[in-house]
Structure 1
């Protein structure tokens, strides 16, 4: 049985009772782009300044703007009104769109869909997840190929809804979509951006229960796991090829001795010439891990000032806080199992196992256990959630109770 089709609500939705307050100098597409950059923590200094200027022009935090919110009954009432409008627009009476927050945080996110104000305001205090609200697939379905692409001009493309063919063209580079969950950046003939051109950056975001493949204009191939974001230039210029990653990705880097390939993940920078490696750098995990399969890479940490060379079969871990780089033997098959369509666990604790399950099946997990539990095994990522949890229960003696999108794990 195929999952129900997913419908996406873009930022451009406007409430019927009042036009959104946007300064004339900021159009909606540009605002969407800047908020996406801010949410992913990859704003350039100029973009940050532009967003700050928008925020102050909006009179954010001042009494007159807050009074407007209060006129609508406060953030919660405003949220309820907007949600009702969403429901009428979508004519979806069977399913409710779920957002990344609950309670008053949910109110902030919905209001952000109108003007971005509360997104910018609350982002300074609370980590954000997706900036696009979506009607999700039924609980229990495994993840699939899905992603959102943000172009340099602020346009957003839902890659779920695209057909094979050309998506866009930027700075002499043509972006193609294929039928197998992949987009390809290709130079249009021999065109190259002039050195004086401002580098155009794109951002691809993979939601929970998603994965996608990307081929950069230099021929480098990137596989992106769930809850991952990659920021990259439309084409590489200068002395290096630099991209910025949050989440997990597997890279097969095209060799170019004169232009090293660099991956930035917060305080970590991985430098390569041409090689195969996996990086796992989720914001909610205690360490960043780089696993090398082929070639060699240099790992540097800006916090500790430490750098080390990694050879095939080794893994470098940087624990958040101390910045030290620890080198160990890698469990390569386990590390890249996600890319090959599997979960492989080798005597792992239940919490780390369920964190992977949570991302791939887009569910939350609660624990009611009174002792540590560890187990291992190989499982298909294409399995239905209930089937997977039955297998877990057999080998772990744990109970898994599924209630909508929440799993309760108990002894």
Structure 2
């Protein structure tokens, strides 16, 4: 039989024959030899840097394994009640199966289907890095499935590259200015990060769109946004950076700020974290200068400034969904975008207020159960349709 370590790796690749699996399991139970295999497993677990998140699939699989081990113990005890080795062997098998289970989920994590997944339990997984780049020449690239280091070519020249999981636009020389707009869009359940040609960094939230030029020409650096994005602008006092949104323009020199301009929201909000920006309505009227910690709100043609709640504004950047005296219908708009679902509120519950925070890394049921436990509510999930209603008395 081949080397134990090689056989172990073959098992992880799901290429073992039934005879080899039997040999591996039996070898694990041999006196004095179990330590060797345990060391191999431990070394591999320590060499991997993956989140052992307790998902529904993992919990189900491990629960099944534990049940199987318990059945083995009970069956053996009915025949050999005095054998302490039964427990030792069962524990050893469980240790091995548990380790294999984690590897099973880790190895299959790289082969997930795109988009939010509908689980067998009826739950839905959270969003992930997903976006599509459409070049000005009409070429379209799926960035979700783009490999690290991929070079994006435009009209025969290298234009951008996937670096560190984000789209990085290559700096263009002054003699090769191309101001034609490219578009990057994120779907429901998708976020993405890019670096524009001037070195500015942009994080796009779900269901968002950013139009930006292949290279910035002389004058202002202009981009167009629909949805929500967080910006860290490269400083260039001679070339102000302008973010255009429907009904508004935000001009900066170098700063950190967030703009929320979803079509289904009641207002456009611009929140400043660092530096200074000038916000003005495209319908006319005097602009407003924001200072760090302030937020402008454009509703209709009225533009006003108030103190910002940065933790709530930047919840999506921090991996959370935060609501502070926020209505259920407002919270569900966030949920719909992040989990890729359609939400129906039955009855007079849309204006119910909630206070709390949940992780955006959890499945959909996490936030729904939180709301359910806070108020007298219940819900159903059917495919990508969510219905929330008052509990029956």
Q: What TM-score, normalized by structure 1, do the two folds share? A: 0.64
**Residue 316 in structure 1 maps to residue 296 in structure 2:** yes
Partner of residue 137, structure 2:
153
**Residue 306 in structure 1 maps to residue 290 in structure 2:** no
- For 1:166 and 1:404, the matched residues in 2 are separated by 34
Q: Is the 8 Å Cα contact of residues 304 and 324 (structure 1) preserved in structure 2?
A: no
**Residue 187 in structure 1 maps to residue 161 in structure 2:** no
Equivalent residue runs for 1:331-350 within 5 Å: 331-350=309-328
The structure-2 alpha-carbon separation of the partners of 1:179 and 1:198, relative to structure 1 and needing over 3 Å to count, comes to: closer
**Residues 270-322 of structure 1: CA distance to partner in whole angstroms, max 9, x if unpaired?**
000000000000112221100001110000112143311111111101013xx
Gaps of 5+ in 2: 1-56, 58-107
Partner of residue 287, structure 1:
267
**Residues 62-85 of structure 1: CA distance to partner in whole angstroms, max 9, x if unpaired?**
xxxxxxxxxxxxxxxxxxxxxxxx
Aligned residue for 2:150, secondary structure, equals strand
Aligned residue for 2:316, secondary structure, equals helix
Partner of residue 163, structure 2:
178
Partner of residue 124, structure 2:
140
**Residue 356 in structure 1 maps to residue 338 in structure 2:** no
Residue 353 (structure 1) shift: 0.5
- For 1:229 and 1:5, the matched residues in 2 are separated by 25
- For 2:175 and 2:260, the matched residues in 1 are separated by 32
**Residue 374 in structure 1 maps to residue 359 in structure 2:** no
Aligned residue for 1:244, secondary structure, equals strand
- For 1:169 and 1:406, the matched residues in 2 are separated by 39
Residue 173 (structure 1) shift: 5.7
Aligned residue for 1:258, secondary structure, equals coil
Q: Is the 8 Å Cα contact of residues 142 and 381 (structure 1) preserved in structure 2?
A: yes
Q: Is the 8 Å Cα contact of residues 374 and 396 (structure 1) preserved in structure 2?
A: no
**Residue 263 in structure 1 maps to residue 263 in structure 2:** no
Aligned residue for 1:176, secondary structure, equals strand
Structure 1's consecutive aligned runs of 4 or more residues displaced over 6 angstroms after TM superposition are none
The structure-2 alpha-carbon separation of the partners of 1:184 and 1:303, relative to structure 1 and needing over 3 Å to count, comes to: same
- For 2:324 and 2:285, the matched residues in 1 are separated by 33
Partner of residue 400, structure 1:
379
- For 1:396 and 1:175, the matched residues in 2 are separated by 49
Q: Is the 8 Å Cα contact of residues 173 and 235 (structure 1) preserved in structure 2?
A: no
Aligned residue for 2:338, secondary structure, equals helix
Residue 403 (structure 1) shift: 1.5
Count residues with an aligned counterpart: 277
Residue 327 (structure 1) shift: 0.6
Aligned residue for 1:386, secondary structure, equals helix
Partner of residue 4, structure 2:
none
Residue 161 (structure 1) shift: 1.4
Aligned residue for 1:337, secondary structure, equals coil
- For 2:116 and 2:289, the matched residues in 1 are separated by 42
Equivalent residue runs for 1:60-139 within 5 Å: 137-138=117-118
Q: Is the 8 Å Cα contact of residues 173 and 185 (structure 1) preserved in structure 2?
A: no
Q: CA RMSD in A?
A: 1.9
Q: Is the 8 Å Cα contact of residues 173 and 234 (structure 1) preserved in structure 2?
A: no
Q: Is the 8 Å Cα contact of residues 306 and 324 (structure 1) preserved in structure 2?
A: no
- For 1:392 and 1:193, the matched residues in 2 are separated by 57
Q: Is the 8 Å Cα contact of residues 173 and 187 (structure 1) preserved in structure 2?
A: no
The structure-2 alpha-carbon separation of the partners of 1:143 and 1:136, relative to structure 1 and needing over 3 Å to count, comes to: closer
**Residue 226 in structure 1 maps to residue 211 in structure 2:** no
Aligned residue for 1:165, secondary structure, equals coil
Partner of residue 390, structure 1:
369
Gaps of 5+ in 1: 8-134
- For 1:141 and 1:193, the matched residues in 2 are separated by 47
**Residue 278 in structure 1 maps to residue 258 in structure 2:** yes
